[in-house]
Amino acid sequence: MSFFVKKIGIDLGTTNTLVFLPGKGVVINEPSVVAVSMPENRILAIGNDAKEMVGRTPDNIIAYRPLKDGVIADYKVTEAMIRYFINKVGGRIRIFKPEVMVSVPAGITSTEKRAVIDATINAGAKAAYVVREPVLAAIGAGIPINSSSGHMIIGIGGGTTEIAVISLGGIVSWASVRVGGNKIDSAIAEHIKKKYNLAVGDRTAEEIKIAIGSAIPLSKDKEMAMEVRGRDLIAGMPKAIKIRSNEITEAIIDELREMVHSIKIVLRETPPELSADIIDKGIIISGGGALLRNIDKLIGEAIGVPCYIADEPLLCVAKGTGVVLDNLEIYKRSIMSKK
C-alpha cells in the first residue's frame, strides 16, 4: 500500500514535525531534531532517535534543530529531514512521486518560501506547495476561512506564536512573536536555578509545565505541587525540591505578557468590521501551547474577547494540510502559490 502514497501533508515545526496522509490522518509526530557527526558532517539520526541523543552526545556528535523560529536555518539538514519523513510514509521504492504540502510561518519571505519548496522537491516530491501556518491551523480547527467574516487564530508553537486574522481565505493582519513552548520552558528552568540553585534541563522544565503549569494563578485548593530533581549548583550533588503551580505562573509571566501584547497589536491593525466579527465569534487557540492550563482564560481576560481552545490543538495544522490536499483544485486558486 505504501507504494501508492500520492499526497503528503507536512507540518514542519520548530519543535515537532507532523505528517498527515489523506484518509489516514496524522501518521508521524516526531521531534524536528537531527543528529550530525561533526568531523565528516554525516547525518546519524532524525526525529525520535535524534531527540534521544540531545544532551547525551559525545563532543563530535551534535543534535540540533534545523529550523529556527519556524524558518529553515540549515538547508541541507532540513532537506534530509523532509526526505526522511517522505520515505518513512512512502517507502523508499515508490511508483509515484507524491505531491507534498508543507506549512510555513506567516511571515516567511519569498526566499525562505523558495528554500522550502526546493528542499521538498529535492527530497523526492513531484510537486511542492506551501501554505501559511495560520491558514492551515484555521482550516484544521474547522473555521470557514473563505467566508467574508473575520476570524482570529493564535497558534502557540515551540519556537513562535503566530497570531493572524483571516478573512476570505487570506491573512488580513498578523504577527509572529518568538515566544513559544521552548521559551516558556527556559523561563521555568531559569526560575528554579535562581530561586533554588538547582540546575534542571529543558526536558524537565517541560515536564513541570505540563504537570503543574498554569497561565493564571490557581486558588489554594486547586494548586498543584510536584517534586523536581536536579543538580545542586553549589554542592554539585543531586537534590530534590518541591515546587508549586503558582511559582510556575510567576516564572512565565513575562513570556505570556509578550504574547498578549502582540495579540493586542494585531487587533489594533484589524479593520473595524472584522474586529466586530472577532468579538462575536471569539478567538481560537491552536498549537501545543494551547495545552497550557488556563491560557484561554488569560488571553480572554487580557483582551476582553472570549477565547476557545481548538479541538486537538496540536494537530490543527496537520489536519489543515489534509483538508487542502483533499481539495487541491479549489485551494490552488485561493490560498497558495504553486511552483
Rounded to 5 degrees, φ, ψ at 61 are: -115, 125
The set of cell numbers assigned to 194 is 535562581
What pLDDT, on a 0 to 100 scale, did the predictor assign at position 70? 63
- CA–CA dist 296, 308 (Å, integer): 6
Q: What is the mean pLDDT of each run of 10 residues along the chain (339 residues)?
A: 74 90 91 85 88 74 76 80 89 78 86 89 91 93 90 93 92 92 95 95 92 96 95 93 96 96 95 94 95 97 96 94 88 61
At 113, the amino acid letter reads K
CATH number, span 2-136+316-338: 3.30.420.40
Radius of gyration of the chain, Cα coordinates, nearest whole angstrom: 21
The reply to whether domains 2-136+316-338 and 181-251 share a CATH topology is no
Residue of 177, 127, 143, 173 lying closest to 157 (CA atoms) = 177
What pLDDT, on a 0 to 100 scale, did the predictor assign at position 91? 72
Give the distance, in angstroms, between the CA of residue 28 and the centroid of all CA atoms in the same chain.
15
CATH number, span 181-251: 3.90.640.10
- CA–CA dist 309, 142 (Å, integer): 12
Residue 107 contacts residue 174 (beta carbons within 8 Å):
yes
Query: Any idea where the domains of the chain sit in the sequence?
Result: 2-136+316-338, 148-179+253-314, 181-251
At 255, the amino acid letter reads E
Residue of 81, 99, 11 lying closest to 19 (CA atoms) = 11
What pLDDT, on a 0 to 100 scale, did the predictor assign at position 92? 66
Kindly list the strands in the beta sheet with 337-338, ordered across the sheet, starting from the edge strand earlier in the chain. Answer: 25-31, 16-21, 7-12, 99-104, 127-132, 337-338
Residue of 48, 21, 39, 12 lying closest to 123 (CA atoms) = 12
What pLDDT, on a 0 to 100 scale, did the predictor assign at position 239? 93
The set of cell numbers assigned to 203 is 526536558
Rounded to 5 degrees, φ, ψ at 177 are: -120, 140
CATH number, span 148-179+253-314: 3.30.420.40
pLDDT in tens, 285-339: 999 999 999 999 999 999 999 999 999 999 999 999 999 998 888 887 766 544 4
**For the chain, give me the number of helices (H) and strands (E)?**
12, 19
